[in-house]
Each structure stands twice: as C-alpha cells, then as structure tokens.
C-alpha cells in the first residue's frame, strides 16, 4: 500500500477529506496515458495525489495473502476494518472510521451501490471482485461528496480492474480451513488494435462458527457458501468494454423467534457492464448494473436494484488554473418486498449533477476549489444540493506536505428507508438527505 508522506494533514469539515495533489504542467497531464485517480478529477498521476489517498497495487495484492477484497483493505489501510454481518453470513464488508453505509464504491469509476440498502447496511459484497482481476485499489477516507456526490460521506473506494496487456492465461486452485476452496481460471488474447480477456471464479466454504447466543447457550453456524463469477473484457486503443455476472448462494443458522433455530437460505445475483472512452482531454463513461437479493425461506422476500450511469468530463486550462469539468447522470430503479404478504414496492429516481474542480498555484501554495450541484428527481421528494469543497496545500522540498481542507457531505436515503411497509419495518417517505 502506497501513501504519499506527509507531516501535517489537517481537515476542517463536518466530514472532511476531499483531497487533491500539487500543481504540475498541463503538458504533463495531457500526455500521460489516462488513469483513474480517486482523490482528484484534475490529476492523472498517482505521484501527484497527496497523503489522504491510499493505493494498493497489483504487486501488493499478490503478496498480501488475502482471500478477498474486504480482507485486503482491512490488512493494508489504517482505519478500514472488515465486517462480516450475521444477517448475510458470508458477505464481505468494510467500515471506514466506523461508517459502513455512506461509503461509495466505484468500479472503474462507476458507482456500484444498492438503492434499497438498510440503514447501517453495506451496499457492496467485496467477494464479488476476484483479486486477480484488480490492477489497483484507491481509497480516500473522509467526505468525497464534492467530487462524487451521494454516498461518499464516509469515503470512496475505487476498484480499478485489469485490462488485457499480453496473451496468456492462469489456472489457480486454493484451499483452506472450514472446507474453503477457490478456483480461478483466466485467459487473454492481445492483438494490434484489439485485446480480449475472459475469467471464471468459483468459491466454496463449509460449516463454520457464526455466532453464540447467550440466552439459549447455543452455537449457530454458517452451513455452506457457493459463489460463481464470470467476466469478459474487450479493449481497443482508446476504449474498454467490461461485463461481469455472478451468483452467490448460502445457508446459515440463527436463533429463532421467540425460541428455537431458524434456517436461513439466501441468494444474490449481480451483473455489471461498463464502457469507457478516453480522448486527449475528455472522456465518456457509461455503465449498467443489476443486483438481486432473495431471502428464500421467506416467500416473496426479495430486493432488486438496477442503475444506469453516464458521465462526460474533461480537463482544460483557464489562464494559470487547471480545471476539470463534467456532467454526471444516474437512473436508479428498485423493486422490493419483505415477503409474507407485504406489498411489492417499485420506485425510481433520476440524478443529474454538473461538477467542476479548479487548481491554482500562488507561489509555493496551491489552492483548490470544487463544486458539485446534485439534482434528484423522485416523486414528491425532489432535492437539490450544492456541495462545495476548498483546500490549500504546500509541498516542501523534502517531500512533506501541509494540507488543509473543508467540504460538505451528502447522502440520499435509500428507497427501503423511505418506503418499506412490513410487520417489522415502516419507512419514512419524508426522510431527507
């Protein structure tokens, strides 16, 4: 894990932490191969991003010994902790500074989160990202709403996947405690103008301890887990197309109500598609994803989310200032029911957000200003929000950095939090961000 050294990092905000790097010549920015750098929309070199951006490279992933992405983040980044929930026995989740829901997960720059999540519930299962497919992971702790909008109040985790670089393949088989087994196979074919890659992963796990109930003095176990994932990557000289699909199935025991033992049988399905085109000074990013979560022991209990995302952005100069600009669009659709006669709730909403970031050098100091205007349209719960960010910094000759930032944060409530109607839960349609 790489972290740019710093001796002083001060943050002043409700939740702070939208970070930028020091100024460099525009010619350097325009000439490098485009990279996704989570801490700033202006800079494309990892070396230009200051201390609060953490980077885990593919080489560090290979040496880590981690079995999934959640365990890797827990191992490599301070303040990030692995959390496995009882309710979803095998799901791999993380918290950042104690926050779990308001963490925005990007996959190659595209937001990947459920719009039907519960309060204090994670939107992403990190087991769905094979470590062999990851080029690097970038993590920004603290509020990132001024750059990335809703759900980035606690931080941003950007997963950058590998692109086919050379022809070849890999076959991998692993085994561990509790009958844990993982199989992975991949192959790449690289041509002059077109490259292609394909992969498949299978994960299995047997019985393991899940929880101990103090009332009944009984031990409850996870019984089994089976997960399958498949992916395809096509790459041209300036574009990349990715497709991923998978399914997880697991069974586990929990204390019954009011007594006894409950057998839980759950299934998750996911599909992710993305396309990115990079020109010299602008880019186009589109993506579509679906997630379906079924609690099979409860008749009719399911949560299904889909989202279409598009972003057009670029970088330019304005006098002595470097400027990044863009327009973000997202359409979310959700259907869910708590089962046993509860109605099916169907909701959708649109999100449009123009944004900009400007960096200006004054002597040895660099000032940075970011603005994002969030426009949400959903039934009668329309909401507009202006999210500013300001920061100043100075990099000294010895490489140390002084950095001070202030920003607002913003998170739209989920459809489940607003509209659920069941014997166990009642939503609040007037819930505000």
* 113 domain residue, yes or no: yes
pLDDT of residue 37: 54
Higher pLDDT, 298 or 147: 298
Q: Give the model confidence (pLDDT) of 305-348 as tens digits.
A: 999 999 999 988 888 888 999 999 999 999 998 887 788 989 99
For the domain that residue 155 is a member of, what is the CATH number? 2.40.170.20
Domain count, the chain: 1
Contact 407, 429 (CB under 8 A): no
Number of H helices, E strands in the chain: 5, 23
Give residue 44's pLDDT band: very low, low, confident or very high (50, 70, 90): low
Q: Where in the sequence is the domain holding 82, given as residue range(s)?
A: 9-419
pLDDT of residue 166: 87
Q: Give the model confidence (pLDDT) of 136-176 as tens digits.
A: 998 888 777 878 888 887 888 899 988 888 899 999 999 99
Higher pLDDT, 349 or 51: 349
Q: Give the model confidence (pLDDT) of 193-207 as tens digits.
A: 899 999 999 999 998
Higher pLDDT, 41 or 344: 344
Of 24-33, 242-251, 345-354, the poorest mean pLDDT is in: 24-33
* 293 domain residue, yes or no: yes
Share of the chain above pLDDT 70, in %: 85
Q: Give the model confidence (pLDDT) of 70-129 as tens digits.
A: 889 888 888 888 776 544 456 777 878 777 777 888 888 888 888 887 765 666 788 889
Phi, psi for residue 69 in degrees, rounded to 5: -65, -40
* 218 domain residue, yes or no: yes
Q: Which residues pair with 407 in a beta bridge?
A: 389
pTM of the model: 0.83
Choose among 7, 118, 77, 178: nearest CA to 418: 118
pLDDT of residue 169: 94
Give residue 43's pLDDT band: very low, low, confident or very high (50, 70, 90): low
Contact 158, 134 (CB under 8 A): no
* 3 domain residue, yes or no: no
Count of other CB atoms within 10 angstroms of residue 132: 16
Of 33-42, 168-177, 236-245, the poorest mean pLDDT is in: 33-42
pLDDT of residue 414: 85
- Give the span between the Cα atoms of 243 and 133, in whole angstroms: 13
Q: Is 217 exposed, middle or buried (0-12, 13-18, 19+ CB in 10 A)?
A: exposed
- Give the span between the Cα atoms of 45 and 28, in whole angstroms: 9
* 302 domain residue, yes or no: yes
Q: Is 237 exposed, middle or buried (0-12, 13-18, 19+ CB in 10 A)?
A: exposed
Looking at every residue in the chain, the average pLDDT score rounds to 82
* 20 domain residue, yes or no: yes
Are β-strands 261-278 and 282-295 bridged in parallel, bridged antiparallel, or unpaired? antiparallel
* 2 domain residue, yes or no: no
* 431 domain residue, yes or no: no
Give the highest mean pLDDT range of 58-62, 176-180, 230-234.
Answer: 230-234
Buried b (16+ CB within 10 A) or exposed e, 386-424: ebebbbebbbeeeeebbbebbbbbbbbbbbbbbbbebee
pLDDT of residue 4: 42
Is 50 exceeded by the pLDDT of residue 427?
yes
Tokens of 290: 């679906």
């Amino acid at each position: 894990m790489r972290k740019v050294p710093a001796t002083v990092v001060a943050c002043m905000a409700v939740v702070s932490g939208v970070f930028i790097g020091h100024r460099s010549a525009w010619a350097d920015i325009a000439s490098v191969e485009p990279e996704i750098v989570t801490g700033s929309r202006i800079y494309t070199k990892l070396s230009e991003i200051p201390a609060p951006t953490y980077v885990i490279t593919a080489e560090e992933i290979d040496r880590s010994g981690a079995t999934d992405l959640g365990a890797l983040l827990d191992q490599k980044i301070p303040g990030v902790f692995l959390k496995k929930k009882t309710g979803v026995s095998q799901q791999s989740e993380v918290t950042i500074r104690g926050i779990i829901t308001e963490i925005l997960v990007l996959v190659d720059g595209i937001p990947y989160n459920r719009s039907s999540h519960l309060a204090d519930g994670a939107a992403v299962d990190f087991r769905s990202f094979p470590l062999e497919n990851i080029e690097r992971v970038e993590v920004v702790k603290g509020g990132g709403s001024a750059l990335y909008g809703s759900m980035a109040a606690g931080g941003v985790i950007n997963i950058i996947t590998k692109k086919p670089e050379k022809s070849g393949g890999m076959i991998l088989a692993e085994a561990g405690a509790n009958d844990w087994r993982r199989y992975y196979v991949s192959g790449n074919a690289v041509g002059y103008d077109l490259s292609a890659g394909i992969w498949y992963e299978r994960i299995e796990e047997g019985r393991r301890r899940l929880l101990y109930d103090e009332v009944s003095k009984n031990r409850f176990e996870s019984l089994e887990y089976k997960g399958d994932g498949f992916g395809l990557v096509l790459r041209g000289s300036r574009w990349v197309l990715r497709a991923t699909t998978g399914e997880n199935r697991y069974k586990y025991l929990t204390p019954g109500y009011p007594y006894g033992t409950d057998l839980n049988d759950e299934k998750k399905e996911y599909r992710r598609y993305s396309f990115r085109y990079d020109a010299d000074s602008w880019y186009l990013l589109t993506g579509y994803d679906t997630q379906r979560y079924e609690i099979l022991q409860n008749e009719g209990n399911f949560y299904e989310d889909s989202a279409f995302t598009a972003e057009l952005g670029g970088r330019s100069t304005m006098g002595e200032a470097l400027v990044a600009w863009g327009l973000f669009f997202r359409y979310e659709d959700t259907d869910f029911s708590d089962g046993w006669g509860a109605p099916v709730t169907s909701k959708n909403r649109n999100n449009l957000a123009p944004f900009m970031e400007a960096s200006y050098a004054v002597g040895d100091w660099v000032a940075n200003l970011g603005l994002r205007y969030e426009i949400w349209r959903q039934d009668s719960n329309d909401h507009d929000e202006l999210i500013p960010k300001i920061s100043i910094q100075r990099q000294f000759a010895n490489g140390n950095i002084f950095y001070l930032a202030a920003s607002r944060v913003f998170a739209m409530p989920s459809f489940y939090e607003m509209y659920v109607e069941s014997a166990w839960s009642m939503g609040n349609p007037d819930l505000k961000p």
